[in-house]
Structures are given as C-alpha cells and as structure tokens.
Chain A
C-alpha cells in the first residue's frame, strides 16, 4: 500500500513538474499581457522534438538541450514580434485567437519537417531504478524534479533581485504605472515570451525520455499546463507550481486507482470544478473591477 502510494506520487510529481513549468509559462505571458497563450504547448513539443533531432545529428546531449531551449526562446520572441505585436494590445480576444493560429503553424511546420512518428531521447543518466520503500524511482524523474526546482529558484531570484525581473513584476501589477516610471513594457512582453518558451521547451526535453514525443504532444501537454495554471490561480507564480504538481498527482492517483483511460480527463474536470467553486484558483489574485 505504502509502496503503491509512493509509486503514484513519484510519477505524479514527475509529470506534475512538467505541467508546472508549462503553467509558469502561461503565467508569465498572462501577467505581461492578459493573453492566454495557446501556443505554450507547442513550445513543449518544439523543445522535445528539437532535442531529438539534434541528438540524431550527433550533437552531444547537453549541447542539444541548450540549443533546443535557445531555439525555442527565439521562436517565442519571433512569435511576439511577428504575430502578437502587429495585432496590438487592445483586443484580448483577437490576441487569444492569434496564439491559437501560431500554435497551428508551429505544429504543422514540425509535422512537415520531422514527420509524424514518435521519438525518444535516452535517459540523462541511465535507466537503473532507485528503490525507495518498495517503489521504483527512475533517475530521469530525479532530473525532472531537480531541474524544475532549480528553475523555480532561479526565477524567484530573477524576480526578486534583478532590475529586469522587477520591471516584469511591476508590469504585471499595473502596466500604465510601469510605463510611467519608464519601464519598456513591450520589451517586458518579449522577454516574457522568450522565458515562457524556454520554460516550456525545457519541460518538454526533460519529460521526453519518459513519455516520448511527437509533433502533436503539444496540444494535450499545453492544455494540461493551462489547467494547472487555472487551478493554481491564473497570474500567480506559486499557484502555477502548486497547480502543476497537484494536477500531476491527481492524474497519477486517478490512473492508478480509478481508471487509466480517464486520467487525461482529470485536468479538465478540475478546470470546471475550479471555475464553478473557486474562480480565482488556489492562489489567484482577488480582482475587483472599476468601471
């Protein structure tokens, strides 16, 4: 029983960490622009697929990872420059539709370029499971969890200690006020896209040795990351992390105890539940509106 509990927790936390990275990506862009970026999942896919492609070319794994994350970040900036900026800031609905359009372009382009097959990456440090309390923990899970934790710490440092990070926080709190004190909010938006693309891509690479990747994994992973962000409270960084882990855990326990065929429905049932009973999520800001 305890072994089972541990086993489900391990797998839940592992996928949950990926969802958390995706959810942080959603949060960054949402805070900078109030746009829900439906292309977030495609960054996850691009990360995994590019890493597989580069490793296939003979690039050593660490370089392949860095390169894939960098390319994804570049794609994020290009997306902001070419698709988001021309639409302008006013119309959130139009911007959300644009992100759906970009996601289709990215997914289709990768399908044309790299084909429809599923691909795997080798585990970063072997496949010998570590036995803890009767449950098997894969070394790759440790990589996922440790890297995600490191990223969270780095982000916290970035937002607390650096000028660029503080500028982003200020923009999230009140854009007009931020502009008045001289913050270039357009640049903040570009940085948000670069960062969230990089976060998504990193998550995509980390999870690929466990779950495989293909041109269409972005849809589900992105939507689940979005569910995690909603559960945690859209706009809250802490909420994104807790939401991601929570969604991963509930999914794993549902797969283990109830029905593995319905585990994919878990995040979406959670979205509805949260919207009905707790619209600002677990840690979301309470909003009041002035007319």
Chain B
C-alpha cells in the first residue's frame, strides 16, 4: 500500500515539474532540452521494463528508434501516407521486428539478446545509410510536418505538451503494469526464472511481450523525434545511441520507473555541460557507467530510496 502511495506522489511530482517547466524556462534552449529529455525518458522507461524485469539488455534500441523515425520521414514523403498512419506503422514495424527476433532468442539462456539486438541495430543502421534513394543515405532527409485534426504541429510549445503528456501516460502505464498480474509475473521472473517457471509463468511469452512493448515505445518516440526535429539521419540508429539509452537505465536504476526518468534527465543534460569539450563527453559517459556499476550498482533512485527507508526506521 505504501508502495502505491509512493508511486502516486512520484507521479504527482513529475506532473508538477512537467507543468511548470514551460513557464520558468528562460529560453527556447531549455524547452528543447526538456523535450529531448522527455523523449529519452519514454524510451528509457520501455528499455528499463526489459532490463529491470526481464533481466536482458538490448544493445540495439536505437535501431528501433531509427525505424520509427524513418517511417515518419519515408512513408509520407515517398508514398503520401498521413503522418499519423506513418507513426503507427513505424511503431508496429519496430514491434514486429522485435517479435520475429525475440521468439528464437528467448528460448536460449544467457545474454543472447544483447548479441542479437546488437546485430539487429547495426543492420538497421547500415540499411538506412545505404538505401540513399529512400532515406537520403548518411546525410538523412527532412520530415514532413505532423498534422493533427487539420492543424500543423510545428512549434516547440506544441511538441512540449505532446511529449509531456506521452511521458506522464507512460509512467502511469508502467506503474500499473508493474502492479498487474503481468508485472507480478515479470518480477517473479526476475527473482528466479526457475521458480517462476515452476509456478506456471510462461517465461518465454512474457519476455517476448515485454521486449516487443519496449521496441514499440522506442519506435513511437523515434517518430516523435523525427517530427519534432523535422529532420532524420541514420545517427539516430547508431550503436552509440543505444549505449546512451542503456546508460540512462543503469544510472537511474534498473527496474525503477522513476529511476528511468531521473536517468534520462541527468544524462540528457550531461552532454550539454560537456559540449565544448570534444572527446571528453565520451570519457564522461564511460566513467559514469563504470562508477555507477561500482558504487551504485542498483542505480541512483533505488539506492537513495533504500537509504531513505532505513533512516525512517
């Protein structure tokens, strides 16, 4: 029960922050940062469900983001699709690809998903770079504006509220999911796969489901990124981007919904601080990963939460 209250308080805090930012942000730079943080946070939420609950890492989530982003660029430009239809198609394509790959992989034990997703992400990246007649190749291509109910969504403010709403809905959905029978099965799975199997949890099915879901989150947010920025390039789908997302999960805290948000906030801001120091940015990312695993193996939010609990007692 206290758990439930903590979750609601957390959700209320995030809602308040989301509502206040546009009124206190001194200029459009901060609004842009907030939008990109929100986009990352939603992807990281999905990825964290996979890592935290299925105990599997994906090293190719940027590939799913790339699929979503390029669906929003290619389908309206070359085939005249409505941007909303393209967005749905991108997310579904990411989910379908994840499902095709996951079924055979999850029959195996061990970190095979890391290997498979790594390969998958790189293949997506290479295809996007090479099919220049469709995707613009390494230079990328512009994305047509999103239209909702006949209105073009182009301003930063509009996108801010859309991303904010998506973030809140995702947090709320993730919290509910964790409390549902599905979530209980996932947590049982994380505790002991064998025990979960013994009490009748269809381990493979749950793992596939959570992976497909996180891929669809990533595809959807790829589309949102594409429309918000107005331009896509294959860099969205590269290995480095996958690692950034993984870092956000690890820093914030595996299996922690609010940890995902905190991780996204910290690590989306970090490159801004280091932007002038080329190369150091990479060093900093790496150092954060290593130090986190050594000193905060559970991540920021769960570690702090545990400390807070102890003090209260």
Cβ B289 vs Cβ A104 within 8 A: yes
Q: Is the C-beta of A93 less than 8 angstroms from some C-beta in chain B?
A: yes
User: Total interface residues on A, using CB and 8 Å?
Assistant: 44
Which of B19-27, B101-109, B169-177 has 4 or more CB atoms under 8 Å from chain A?
B101-109
Cβ of A152 within 8 Å of any chain B Cβ, yes or no, is no
Q: A96 with B57: in contact, given A111-B279, A112-B279, A271-B116 (CB under 8 Å)?
A: yes
Q: Is the C-beta of B297 less than 8 angstroms from some C-beta in chain A?
A: yes
Contact with B along A141-170 (1 / 0, CB 8 A): 000000000000000000000000000000
CA distance A102 to B283 in the complex (A): 9
In angstroms, Cα B153 to Cα A164, docked, is: 66
Chain A residues with CB below 8 A from B285, complex form: 101, 104, 108
Closest CB in chain A relative to B121 CB, distance in Å: 9
Residue B234 at the chain A interface, CB threshold 8 Å: no
Number of cross-chain contacts by CB at 8 Å:
123
Contact B115 A271 (CB under 8 A): yes
Q: Given known contacts A83-B294, A104-B286, A291-B194, is B250 in contact with A97 (CB within 8 Å)?
A: yes
Q: How far, in whole Å, are A217 and B116 apart by their CA atoms in the complex?
A: 21
B126 x A265 contact (CB < 8 A): yes
Other-chain contact of B288, A86, A101, A111, A265 (Cβ < 8 Å): A101
Complex Cα distance A217/B290, Å? 22
Whether B123 and A269, one on each chain, are in contact in the complex, defined by CB atoms closer than 8 angstroms, is: yes
Chain B residues within 8 Å of A227, by CB: 119
Task: Please report which residues of chain A, range 98-133, place their CB below 8 angstroms from some CB of chain B when the two chains form the complex.
Answer: 98, 100-109, 111-112
Contact with B294, one of A87, A109, A259 (Cβ below 8 angstroms): A87
Roughly how many angstroms separate A109 CA and B277 CA in the complex, as a whole number? 12
Chain A residues whose CB sits within 8 angstroms of the CB of B105 once the complex forms: 275-276
* Contact for B281 among A92, A108, A269, A289, CB less than 8 A: A108
B114 within 8 A of A: yes
Residues of B within 8 A of A276 (CB): 104-105
Distance (whole angstroms) from the CB of B53 to the closest CB of chain A: 13
**Distance of A218 from chain B, by nearest CB (Å):** 11
In the bound complex, what is the Cα–Cα distance between A262 and B123 (angstroms)? 9
A219 to B59, CA, bound (A): 13
- Whether B290 lies near A102 (C-beta < 8 A) is yes
**Contact (Cβ within 8 A) B116 A112:** no
Q: Is A104's CB under 8 angstroms from B243's CB?
A: yes
Say how far A249's CB is from chain B's closest CB, in angstroms. Answer: 19
Look across to chain A and name the residue whose beta carbon is closest to the beta carbon of B51.
Answer: A93
A79 to chain B, nearest CB (A): 9
Query: A94-B293, A262-B130, A268-B119 in contact; A275/B108 too (CB < 8 A)?
Result: yes
Is A279 an interface residue, CB under 8 A from the partner? Answer: yes
Chain A residues with CB below 8 A from B288, complex form:
101
- Which residue on chain A has the smallest CB distance to residue B243? A100
Q: Which residue of B lies closest to A264 (CB)?
A: B126
Q: From residue A209, how far is it (CB to closest CB) to chain B in Å?
A: 26
Chain A's nearest CB lies how many Å from the CB of B197? 10
Residue of B nearest to A113 (CB): B279
Q: Inside 8 A of A223's CB, which chain B residues have their CB?
A: 118, 122, 239
A92 touches B243 (CB 8 A): no
- A105 contacts which chain B residues (CB < 8 A)? 282-283, 286-287, 290
CB contact under 8 A between A108 and B115, given known A87-B297, A275-B104? no
Contact B294 A91 (CB under 8 A): no
Residue A272 lies at the interface, judged by CB distance under 8 Å to chain B: yes
Q: Is the CB of B122 within 8 A of A98?
A: no
- Beyond A93-B57, A264-B126, A271-B116, whether A108 also contacts B279 by CB under 8 A is yes
Apart from A104-B283, A104-B285, A275-B112, list 9 A-B contacts with CB within 8 A: A83-B290, A94-B293, A96-B57, A97-B57, A105-B286, A268-B120, A268-B123, A275-B104, A279-B112
**13 A-B residue pairs with CB within 8 Å:** A36-B111, A91-B297, A97-B246, A97-B250, A97-B293, A101-B286, A101-B289, A107-B282, A108-B285, A111-B282, A265-B122, A268-B122, A275-B105
4 closest residue pairs by CB, A with B: A104-B286, A101-B289, A108-B282, A108-B283
Interface residues of A (CB under 8 A from B): 36, 83, 86-87, 91-98, 100-109, 111-112, 219, 223, 226-227, 230, 259, 261-262, 264-265, 267-269, 271-272, 275-276, 279, 289, 291
